[in-house]
Structure 1
Amino acid sequence: MRSAEIREAAAALLGAHRSGTPIPPLSTTYPGATIADAYRIQQEQVRSWTEAGDEVRGHKIGLVSAAIRRQMGVHEPDYGLLTASMFHPEHLPVPARRFIQPRIEPEIAFVLDAPLRGPGVTVGDARRAVRHLLPALEIVDSRIRDWKISIVDTIADNASSGAAILGGTPIDPADVDLRSASCALLKNGTIAETGTGAAVLGTPFNALAWLANAVGALGVTLEAGQVVLSGSITRTVAIAPGDRVTADFPGIGRVTAVLAGEDPP
């Protein structure tokens, strides 16, 4: 894609954020777009947000489980940036008007104690770089109409990012086996999905190492203090205003998100 088309595509996505009206798939509008083009579109949006005063606070990994890739019709993970405005306190209502077609998923969040920069980051390196982990919920959203996304569409759309809600009790990663860690996702008190950490590329630590190497190829470092959402343990679940969703990780903790119809007072 030409630079003008990159800017045009980013502007269309930014417009969808503002208006709440989704756009047609970019992969249809720009049929020759590549994954590299999609990341350039993503970066153009992040640049716009940071110039407006938002701040990058971490990264998110998407499409890590086989179930999610089948659900979305794609075949490889992707990643996006997390900005300060995307984080919401647990239990406080998250305004539904910030989303177009939201879904939610349970994840393990890593808080880094040391920087990670690929290439060459191993799973052991990733483990040693983690200060603590937290149970998390990610609200994913798509600015692409009807979630008709290819890998190009979701990458360009900042990996379909929406919001992050973190649990409040830090866990030492040495105290839990994330590969076998289980999770139940409850929507309005009823179990909607279950899964284990093995769904996330075998273990969420594999996802963290993958991310460090993927962004390292672009000269990007995962910095100490940043949050990394490692990817969904279950399939995503659609949510609507009034829904209350809890991710229950036995031995790790619980985290709850509430989707409100308007900004809380």
Structure 2
Amino acid sequence: MTAWTVDRAAAELLSCEDTRRERGPITEEWPDLDLESAYAVQDEVLRRRLERGERLVGVKLGLTSRAKQARMGIASPLTAWLTDAMVLPAGVPVPRERFIHPRAEPEIVFVLGRELRGPGVTAAVALRAVDAVYAGMEIIDSRYRDFRFTLPDVVADNASSAAFVTGPVLRSPYGLDLSLEACRLEVDGQVVDSAAGAAVQGHPAEALALAANSLGARGLALQPDWLVLTGGMTDAVAVEPGHSVAAHFTSLGSITLAGG
């Protein structure tokens, strides 16, 4: 059997995404996969995306809630890449033919106005690099069967990235208390969860700082005009055919997704 390598894992995960094929965790076959190698897989998947014409537009954070971090045995979120192929225009039904088992979660999204490079970035410094704030809804879609994975598995899989949509309201970060920015999550008009921005590392700017510092440790930096999805405010809910998922924010407007 061919030995697992970064190239092989990247090719396999991209193939699973492109063909809507789920599989077991890679660590079941490559038990020595560690976080450093998992990020190398993630980066190789990005290289292949760019090679086929996609454009890098930002980053996302995963496992930003402290409860999820405790379950995975980590102390800080993970980072992953966003490309223009993941952008879902507002009002367009979720294209289920692209996904395996999509789930949606509401997020606060930053648009950067200048480069942000770690290490040593604090939340206050990070927020000064932000030009604008949107509401967002991320669609996650693990390539692993039943969303069952270890930490290296999900890092290699680009933090279960699939698609995202931003809301209709653009606000300056100044004058907003993002720790108190509330969100009500509904499925078919029924409230299923709610949270505030404090659910994301205490404040979404803390998540942004962690992203800058994590990338800085790898010699990378957040760039001007990039979008940063700061992490799910609530648990994700399944996007089912014929059903709708809506997120209503205090001051950032509302987003509704229809299951295609």
TM-score in terms of structure 1 length: 0.93
Identity among equivalent positions (%) equals: 39
Matches within 5 A, 1:22-37: 22-37=22-37
List runs of 5+ in structure 1 lacking aligned partners.
261-265
Tell whether 2:66 aligns with 1:66.
Answer: yes
Matches within 5 A, 1:166-245: 166-245=166-245
State the partner residue of 1:94: 94
Q: CA 1:239/1:140 → structure 2, altered by over 3 Å: closer, same or farther?
A: same
- SS of the residue corresponding to residue 91 of structure 2 reads coil
Once residues 187 and 196 of structure 1 are traced to their aligned partners in structure 2, the CA distance between those partners, rounded to angstroms, is 18
State the partner residue of 2:148: 148
1:175 to partner: Cα distance: 2.2
Q: CA 1:74/1:160 → structure 2, altered by over 3 Å: closer, same or farther?
A: farther
8 Å contact from structure 2 (residues 109, 133) kept in 1: yes
Q: CA 1:127/1:203 → structure 2, altered by over 3 Å: closer, same or farther?
A: same
1:180 to partner: Cα distance: 1.6
State the partner residue of 1:53: 53
Once residues 18 and 251 of structure 1 are traced to their aligned partners in structure 2, the CA distance between those partners, rounded to angstroms, is 37
Q: Which whole-Å deviations, capped at 9, do the CAs of 1:157-210 have from their partners, x for residues lacking one?
A: 001101010012201111211112211111111111111111100000000000
List runs of 5+ in structure 2 lacking aligned partners.
none
- SS of the residue corresponding to residue 195 of structure 2 reads strand
State the partner residue of 1:251: 251
Once residues 256 and 238 of structure 2 are traced to their aligned partners in structure 1, the CA distance between those partners, rounded to angstroms, is 15
State the partner residue of 2:138: 138
1:149 to partner: Cα distance: 1.0
State the partner residue of 2:5: 5
8 Å contact from structure 2 (residues 167, 252) kept in 1: no
- SS of the residue corresponding to residue 212 of structure 1 reads helix
Once residues 242 and 53 of structure 2 are traced to their aligned partners in structure 1, the CA distance between those partners, rounded to angstroms, is 30
Once residues 142 and 183 of structure 1 are traced to their aligned partners in structure 2, the CA distance between those partners, rounded to angstroms, is 24
State the partner residue of 1:127: 127
1:240 to partner: Cα distance: 1.5
8 Å contact from structure 1 (residues 68, 235) kept in 2: no
- SS of the residue corresponding to residue 81 of structure 1 reads strand
8 Å contact from structure 1 (residues 73, 150) kept in 2: yes
Q: Which whole-Å deviations, capped at 9, do the CAs of 1:26-64 have from their partners, x for residues lacking one?
A: 111111110111101111111111000000000000100
TM-score in terms of structure 2 length: 0.95
Letter in 1 for 2:235: R
8 Å contact from structure 2 (residues 77, 210) kept in 1: no
Matches within 5 A, 1:155-170: 155-170=155-170
Q: Which whole-Å deviations, capped at 9, do the CAs of 1:57-96 have from their partners, x for residues lacking one?
A: 00000100124446x6453411110000101111111211
Once residues 54 and 240 of structure 1 are traced to their aligned partners in structure 2, the CA distance between those partners, rounded to angstroms, is 27
1:6 to partner: Cα distance: 0.9
- SS of the residue corresponding to residue 164 of structure 2 reads strand
Once residues 259 and 56 of structure 1 are traced to their aligned partners in structure 2, the CA distance between those partners, rounded to angstroms, is 26
8 Å contact from structure 1 (residues 42, 156) kept in 2: yes
- SS of the residue corresponding to residue 231 of structure 2 reads strand
Once residues 182 and 167 of structure 1 are traced to their aligned partners in structure 2, the CA distance between those partners, rounded to angstroms, is 14
- SS of the residue corresponding to residue 194 of structure 1 reads strand
Letter in 1 for 2:65: S
Letter in 2 for 1:225: D
Q: CA RMSD in A?
A: 1.6
Letter in 2 for 1:77: P
1:251 to partner: Cα distance: 2.0
Letter in 1 for 2:78: D
State the partner residue of 1:263: none
